[in-house]
Amino acid sequence: MLQVSVLWKNHRICVPVKKNTLVSEALLAMKVPVPMPCSGKHLCGKCRVWVSGEVNGVSPQENALLGDAALAEGIRLACFCRIEGDSLIRPVFSQADILTWVKIPSFLYTGTGAGVACDIGTTTIAVRLYECSTGTLLAEGAEENNQRAYGADVISRIQACHAYGTRKLSEVVFRQIEDMVGQIMTKSGIREISAGVLTGNTTMLHIFEGLDPHALAAAPFLMQSAFGSVSARRIDSADMYLPPCIGAYVGADTVCAVLAAGMTEQKGISLLVDLGTNGEIVLCKDGKFICCAVAAGPAFEGVGLHSGMSASYGAIYKAHTDEGKVSVEIIGNGVKAAGICGSGIIDLLHVMKNLGVLDESGYLEKEFSVGTYAEVCITPEDVRKIQLAKAAVCAGIYTLLNEENVMPEEVERFYVAGGFGASLNPVSAAAIGLFPEALKDKISFIGNGALGGAVMILLNSKMKSMAEDIVKNSRELELSRSAFFMDKYIECMGF
């Protein structure tokens, strides 16, 4: 037997394996998640790991998927790389890996031809191209939403529609999605698509369709459309299906995330939190859904922070203390830190709390430099932005639980969706009060839940009716009218 060590979640996991074992199989046995969109069929090139030690040579196919630069850094693909001696392995994530990573239940494929699934996030847009009859992922891509030039959140986008016209913002996002789909079609050699599913929050879908979103921003928060219909706009001559929305602030993206989590097929009590620019929360009890949205802002995605950045090359995405010193992990092994992404921010706040430089009120006397990277730091203003966001999320969770007379300990399954969920440390998240402590050992990460649900609808037409059933069995709670939420929000400010 050979000895393999895996660096994961600030721990070194050591296990014996047989010679010639695939790295993907070893990681699966250790329950270390690595994105494998193509299910290990050697097609996507996303299961990247940094490897040191005795492993097999690089095949021409793996070389083509990785490229010389990645190979020179010691990067391999877990579905190709075989262990031939004692080795050290560490998963590697890129921005596209994180933003397009999905985890969905098994289901039958009923589609035909090539199709595209798209999630219009407030901050980012993610697309995937599939062979619909086999469920084979052909290509994927992720970009920052070009509408960000008009504001970071949905309220500012709605205001921008008033100032510049809804048609202008609609054209911006439509042209961007058109270009992204064209790029992945060219990359995969696909000449035409026959179907598409495009999801997003209620505001994003209104703007995409060219519908004035103004009424979404003020009571009684009216939708011009709840969707669950084919878009008026086509992409590459293909109809684009828009899944249904629950309400003005709980949109089709949340419905899709519920699908991706498999909550419709489960008994008992489960909870879903989608952490993005807008934080949506869903509690499922006895087959009924109660949901709400909180104004988390883009801070969880690194936006608006002094050294904040997306989960891309050079981002600090993990941190811990080692004998009183701060140690970090950076996307792209051996590179200099360029900034901090969402999961790194959460870890660093936990580190700062443990070191005593951040007190329970959130007070930080001066900016906190990260280890040896003096130019990469967390400022008092950064702490306040995260404090507001995490308090809103945690208070939203408590409010839904209170509404259904459920204690945190009674929740059986806790799903976290969102761009930085793949590398979020549950211990750090609970320690800074992002969610109740009782939930940290029940957590399951599902990646981009909105995109995952859109994929399910694309590949199986029956999922449309399941999405409609979710809406019929859902109730949206308006937090602005909840005295409990307001009280809990103040209480959850502490670290």
Look at residue 48 in the predicted model and tell me its pLDDT: 85
Q: Which pLDDT tens digit goes with each residue over 80-112?
A: 999 999 888 987 766 666 678 888 999 999 999
Residue 389 belongs to a domain: no
Q: Do residues 107 and 240 share a domain?
A: yes
Contact 418, 103 (CB under 8 A): no
- Which of residues 247, 265, 283 is at a domain's end? 265
Candidate from 142-146, 238-242, 418-422, 477-481 with smallest mean pLDDT: 418-422
Amino acid making up residue 446: I
Give dist(CA 127, CA 350) in Å, integer: 33
pTM for the model stands at 0.83
Where do the H-state alpha helices sit in 229-296?
Answer: 252-261
Q: Which pLDDT tens digit goes with each residue over 329-354?
A: 887 656 788 899 888 999 999 999 99
Amino acid making up residue 370: V
For residue 443, is pLDDT > 80? yes
Looking up tokens 């989608």, which residue turns up?
A: 274
Q: How confident is the model over 13-17, as a mean pLDDT?
A: 82
Q: Which pLDDT tens digit goes with each residue over 167-218?
A: 999 999 999 999 999 999 998 999 999 999 999 999 999 999 999 999 999 8
Q: Which residues of 113-142 are buried (b: 16+ CB within 10 A; e: fewer)?
A: ebbbbbbbbbbbbbbbbbbbeebbbbbbbb
The residue segments making up the domain with residue 176 are 100-265
Looking up tokens 């190709």, which residue turns up?
A: 80
Residue 102 is classified by DSSP as B
- pLDDT band at residue 8, thresholds of 50, 70 and 90? low
Give dist(CA 427, CA 66) in Å, integer: 33
Q: Do residues 71 and 140 share a domain?
A: no
- pLDDT band at residue 292, thresholds of 50, 70 and 90? very high
For residue 387, is pLDDT > 90? yes
Which residues have a Cβ under 8 Å from the Cβ of 72 and sit 6 or more positions away?
none
| Bond preceding residue 220 cis, omega within 30 of 0 | yes
Q: Do residues 214 and 68 share a domain?
A: no
Q: Do residues 167 and 57 share a domain?
A: no
Q: Do residues 158 and 254 share a domain?
A: yes
Residue 150 belongs to a domain: yes
Contact 252, 245 (CB under 8 A): yes
Which residues have a Cβ under 8 Å from the Cβ of 163 and sit 6 or more positions away?
none
We report the CATH number of the domain holding residue 122 as 3.30.420.480
Strands (E), 121-250: 124-131, 136-144, 195-200, 227-230, 240-244
- Specify the pairing of strand 114-120 against strand 240-244: unpaired
Amino acid making up residue 475: R
Strands (E), 169-311: 195-200, 227-230, 240-244, 269-274, 279-285, 288-294
We report the CATH number of the domain holding residue 66 as 3.10.20.30
Give dist(CA 101, CA 36) in Å, integer: 8
Q: Do residues 133 and 239 share a domain?
A: yes
Please state, in angstroms and as integers, the Cα–Cα distance from residue 61 to each residue in 34, 39, 40, 143, 186, following that order: 20, 16, 13, 27, 19
Give dist(CA 347, CA 368) in Å, integer: 13
Amino acid making up residue 487: D
Largest CA distance in the chain: 67
Cross-strand partners of 21: 83
